[in-house]
Amino acid sequence: MEQALSDITVLDLGQVIAMPFCTMLLADMGARVIKVESREQAAERVSLGIKRVRNGVEERVPVSQYRDRNKQAITLNLKTAEGVALFKELVQHVDVVAENFSVGTMARLGLDYPVLQAVNPRLIYAAITAFGQYGPYAPQRGYDILAQAISGYMSITGFPDQPPTRSGQSISDYYTGMLCAFSILSALHYRDRTGTGQYIDLALLDSLVMALDNLGERYTVGGEVLTRAGNVSFGGSTSGVYGVTDGYVAIGAGSSDLVWRRFCQTIGEPAYAHDPRYATTAARRQRRDEIAAVIQSWTSTRTKAEAVQAMSSAGVPCAPVNTIDETVADPQIQAREMFVELDHPTYGPVKITGTALKLSETPGRVQHLAPLPGAHNEEIFVGLLGHSRDEVARWGAAGVV
């Protein structure tokens, strides 16, 4: 099947989350993504596999880095002169170089954008760092938790009487990865029109500031500093998470006055829909705790399934708060094929996260698991660059590949 990006080749130097996720999106859409890593990086990647006991034997299945699926993998030591020369040779054959090293790392290797642009003027070079390539924080190493802290994202997560809370996953890495993929495609579109490559500078911090919605403007325009509100939305009054007999459900009971009336009818309290204390969104916002108590009173005697069925059938947004095992088994998740099973050459069938990229003509596809270290050395160095197998063997003995 022809895919949208099957004519694009990417050299992926990405590590950990943000850039590997970005290039995974490109690979899901058919791009040829060549993962470039040293032997040491490759060994660490494989060692981070998920523990599984099968037939009484403990295995570490190297699929936890699902962000490297659909990619090819080569080993290359960029701290050697021959490794640098080979990388430059590769750059002549690709459309994109993608990396998320600390600021200055590629320059120290002699492989920064000006150098690579001279090798391939049409090159798109994408870099992700914690704070960006310039500014007072740029030289500092940083991770998601720092981006969440500085951006204010952490200050709005959690409950008012509890400390600021980190989002459960490294959310800035995923935001930035998606924005970087979008930026790469934008740059490729521009290059198709003009023939000109360019440099992309993405920061975890910037991406989370964008994700604050209108909270920044509520301060810059209105002088309002919003902080943690638990599971209640900043603009709403009756959305939240409520306990049931077998866990929790999320209910959006008052996203509009119509939904509020439906909710009141469903719980057998139609008078609340017309009571001036609760009839409008503005009024409900002032009595958030009272309404939460009303909702909790109703949910506390019901199961997840009962609450969801009653609310959803009445047109009130409601969903179970799933644990991860429940998420995997959820019928909507299964219908959308958000977990797919593939065969690993060593460990047999394994199930990994699917792709959210549903396009009618060129959908994203999960074709194979993350490659083993150096699995495509011969295909790339011999097949793409035209070197001999003897040269590759010599480089292997010398620690170049």
Mean pLDDT, contiguous 10-residue spans, the chain (401 residues)? 93 96 98 97 87 85 85 98 98 98 97 98 98 97 96 95 94 98 98 98 97 93 92 75 96 87 95 91 86 92 97 96 96 96 88 95 95 95 97 96 97
The span from the CA of 149 to the CA of 229, in Å, is 17
- Domains belonging to the chain, first-starting first, are 9-211+336-398 (3.40.50.10540), 239-323 (3.30.1540.10)
**What is the per-residue DSSP string for 26-80?**
HHHTT-EEEEEE-HHHHHHHHHTPEEEEETTEEEEETTS-GGGTT-EEEE--TTS
Phi–psi pair at 207, nearest 5 degrees: -65, -40
Q: Which helix (H) or strand (E) holds 164?
A: none
Global pTM? 0.94
CB–CB of 114/123 below 8 Å? no
Catalytic site residue from 12, 28, 95, 173? 173
Give residue 13's pLDDT. 98
| DSSP E strands, 305-399 | 318-320, 339-344, 348-353
Residue 98 has what pLDDT?
98
Confidence (pLDDT) at 179: 98
Task: Provide the 8-state DSSP code for 322.
Answer: -
**Greatest extent of the chain over all pairs of C-alpha atoms, in Å:** 84
Q: Could you tell me the two tokens for 277?
A: 């204390």
pLDDT at residue 237, rounded to an integer: 64
Q: What is the pLDDT of residue 235?
A: 63
Q: Are 16 and 174 in contact (CB under 8 A)?
A: no
Would strands 247-252 and 239-244 be described as parallel, antiparallel, or unpaired?
A: antiparallel
Alpha-carbon distance 168 to 10, whole Å? Answer: 30
378 three-state secondary structure: helix
173 has catalytic annotation: yes
Given this model, what pLDDT does residue 303 score? 97
